């Protein structure tokens, strides 16, 4: 891992954790068991990739990165809700997440479902009430995230994922699925960071191109790790795609070609931000880190 990635992670991770804790510490009259289940899945875990991207794109667009913190926390709440639901028996039926029992294993299927349901509106409440930038920019960012996590984005991608179980599908089908299930939220994080800085349409286009490519590279790397790593290292079950009889980049391309494709999309992401000069140093290094990660 490069020095700049370590430096920024050391800068951001404690602040992200502190804000996530604060935003969920007192949710009014919420049932304590529900709040416990939400915080169990949300806090003290994960690489916080999406929040960091939101903060760093705000910085790269010339803004005060802390202005994007409510958006960063909102996107992480959406991501966490998606993981809770993804692990449910009716979906991927995974019992391990981030190195500990999945939410439904710890709290029961119904409470896990409701914890995910509660995190979704809390994400938008956090963005809308925590923002200190212009109201029109806050609303624009909220609309970006709402679109990304809905039927045209993450949820739609999950439907395609379920449809593809037990089928042999092509590379374009997998890319269409991943652009919704994984890529849409990554893109939203990057774009919301630019919006928080009141950045230009050109900067938004750069963020979108970068995000699209790291999203593909990220998913390819996930597919590779699913067949090459261990549950202890990943913190979640391995060979789950094989168990669910899903086509993946690895099953279609083979390991070496999949690695080449991940490297190609990482290079495209780096190229997309190269025009930003020194402001792109972290984003370029972060893209490289994501494709070389071991979990």
- Residue 286 in tokens: 């972060």
Which pLDDT score is estimated for 99?
85
Please enumerate, as own/partner, the contacts of 235-244 that have beta carbons within 8 Å and a separation of 24 or more: 235/96, 235/97, 235/98, 235/99, 235/100, 235/295, 236/94, 236/96, 236/97, 236/98, 236/99, 237/94, 237/95, 237/96, 240/92, 240/94, 244/92, 244/165
Query: CB-based burial of residue 198 (10 Å sphere; 0-12 exposed, 13-18 middle, 19+ buried)?
Result: middle
pLDDT at 1 over 80: no
d(CA 187, CA 130): 21
Lowest-pLDDT choice from 27-31, 44-48, 250-254: 27-31
For helices 255-273 and 281-292, what crossing angle results, to 10°? 170
- Residue 120 in tokens: 């979704």
Please report, rounded to a whole number, the percentage of residues in the chain having pLDDT higher than 70: 94
List pLDDT tens digits, range 86-122: 999 999 899 999 889 999 999 999 999 999 999 999 9
What domain count does the chain have? 1
Which alpha helices (H) appear in 43-170, and where do they start and end?
A: 49-60, 69-86, 103-107, 109-130, 135-148, 154-164
List pLDDT tens digits, range 8-43: 999 999 999 999 999 999 777 789 999 999 999 999
pLDDT at 243 over 70: no
Q: What share of the chain is helix, strand, coil (3-state, %, to 5)?
A: 75, 0, 20
d(CA 251, CA 116): 31
Which pLDDT score is estimated for 236?
63
List pLDDT tens digits, range 159-194: 998 888 888 888 899 999 999 999 999 999 999 999
Of 221, 195, 209, 222, which is closest to residue 274 (Cα–Cα)? 209
Which pLDDT score is estimated for 293?
85
Which pLDDT score is estimated for 14?
96
CATH of the domain at 215: 1.10.600.10
Domain span holding position 248:
3-292
Which pLDDT score is estimated for 295?
74
Tell me the three state secondary structure of residue 96: strand
Q: How confident is the model at residue 44 (pLDDT cuts 50, 70, 90)?
A: confident
Residue reference for tokens 């931000």: 273
Overall pTM surpassing 0.75 (yes/no): yes
List pLDDT tens digits, range 94-103: 999 988 999 9
- Residue 220 in tokens: 């390819």
């Amino acid at each position: 891992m490069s020095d700049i990635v370590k430096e920024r992670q050391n800068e951001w991770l404690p602040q992200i954790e502190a804000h996530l804790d604060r935003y969920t510490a007192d949710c009014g009259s919420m049932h304590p068991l529900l709040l416990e289940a939400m915080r169990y899945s949300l806090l003290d875990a994960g690489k916080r990739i999406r929040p960091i991207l939101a903060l760093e794109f705000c910085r790269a667009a010339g803004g005060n990165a802390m202005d994007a913190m409510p958006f960063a926390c909102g996107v992480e709440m959406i991501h966490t809700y998606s993981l809770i639901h993804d692990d449910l028996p009716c979906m991927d039926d995974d019992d391990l997440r981030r190195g500990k029992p999945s939410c439904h294993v710890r709290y029961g299927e119904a409470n896990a479902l409701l914890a995910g349901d509660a995190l979704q509106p809390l994400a938008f409440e956090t963005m809308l009430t925590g923002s200190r930038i212009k109201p029109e920019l806050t609303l624009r960012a909220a609309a970006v995230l709402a679109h990304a996590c809905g039927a045209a984005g993450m949820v739609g991608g999950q439907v395609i994922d379920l449809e593809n179980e037990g089928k042999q599908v092509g590379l374009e089908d997998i890319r269409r699925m991943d652009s919704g299930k994984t890529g849409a939220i990554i893109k939203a994080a990057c774009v919301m960071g630019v919006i928080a800085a009141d950045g230009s349409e050109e900067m938004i286009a750069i963020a979108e191109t970068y995000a699209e490519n790291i999203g593909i590279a990220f998913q390819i790397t996930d597919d590779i790790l699913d067949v090459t790593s261990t549950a202890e290292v990943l913190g979640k079950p391995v060979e789950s795609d094989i168990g669910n009889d899903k086509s993946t980049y690895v099953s279609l391309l083979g390991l070496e070609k999949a690695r080449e494709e991940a490297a190609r999309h990482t290079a495209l992401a780096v190229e997309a931000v190269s025009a930003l000069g020194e402001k792109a140093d972290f984003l370029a290094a972060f893209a490289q880190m994501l494709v070389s990660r071991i979990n």
